[in-house]
A = this chain, B = another copy of it.
Amino acid sequence: MEATQTDIARLVHRQEIADRLVDYCRQLDEMDLEALVQNFTQDCRVTYGDDPHLRAVGRAGLQASLARMWRWRRTAHHLCNLRIWFADDQRATATSDVWAWHEAPDGACAEVYGTYQDTLKRTKAGWLIDTRDMRMRGANANFRVPVPPARRHDPPPGWTAPEGLDA
């Protein structure tokens, strides 16, 4: 049951990747965009949807694009469900889920249940997010940003809902 050197090194790498994803959330809520973009590679590509406002290339581009978040009075981004797959010592993919709460200036709350699909690269500055694509599992009626839906399998032909469960 001994852990191998690779097992152990990967735990250290996982922690470094988790830190980058958590820093993104915290720095977004703090609107410290200058710090936030340091979690990404220089030539990162970040896509929250098809709208041009929701696509950015490079650190400067991302910083300029995320300035849109100031249209909210307050936000809270809670990350969970992180999974990481290593291609090798230099490249990994990750998925994570985020619950994002946004308060508009009029007090209305827009909530989205999002999922991030990331690729990461190990650079001289450590692991960084190289590409990020966002999808959403759901949202409340106040959230109207056109984030594309996450995939969900359809029920098999002939499926019927059980009765009485939500009575």
Q: Chain A: residues with CB nearer than 8 A to chain B?
A: 1-3, 5, 7-9, 11-12, 14-15, 19, 22-23, 25-26, 29-33, 51, 53-54, 67-68, 70-71, 74-83, 89, 95, 97, 99, 101, 103, 107, 109-110, 113, 115, 137-138, 140-141, 144-145, 150-156, 159, 161-162, 164-167
Q: How many copies does the complex hold?
A: 3
**7 pairs, A vs B, C-beta closer than 8 Å:** A3-B5, A8-B8, A31-B153, A31-B154, A76-B137, A99-B99, A145-B165
- In the complex with contacts A7-B12, A9-B1, A97-B76, A70-B159 CB distance below 8 A: yes
Residue pair B67, A153 in contact (C-beta under 8 Å)? no
- Picked from B11, B89, B154, B167, the residue with its CB within 8 Å of the CB of A3 is B11
- Picked from B5, B89, B144, B155, the residue with its CB within 8 Å of the CB of A166 is B144
- In the complex with contacts A12-B11, A83-B26, A101-B113, A165-B53 CB distance below 8 A: yes
Closest Cβ neighbor of A151 among chain B residues: B30
Residue pair A1, B78 in contact (C-beta under 8 Å)? no
Residue pair A161, B74 in contact (C-beta under 8 Å)? no
Alpha-carbon distance between A95 and B141 when the two chains are bound, in angstroms? 31
Residue pair B22, A75 in contact (C-beta under 8 Å)? no
Closest Cβ neighbor of A68 among chain B residues: B162
Alpha-carbon distance between A74 and B111 when the two chains are bound, in angstroms? 14
Residue pair A80, B80 in contact (C-beta under 8 Å)? yes
Residue pair B14, A3 in contact (C-beta under 8 Å)? no
A38 to chain B, nearest CB (A): 14
* Residues of chain B lying within 8 A (CB to CB) of residue A54: 165
Residue pair B109, A161 in contact (C-beta under 8 Å)? no
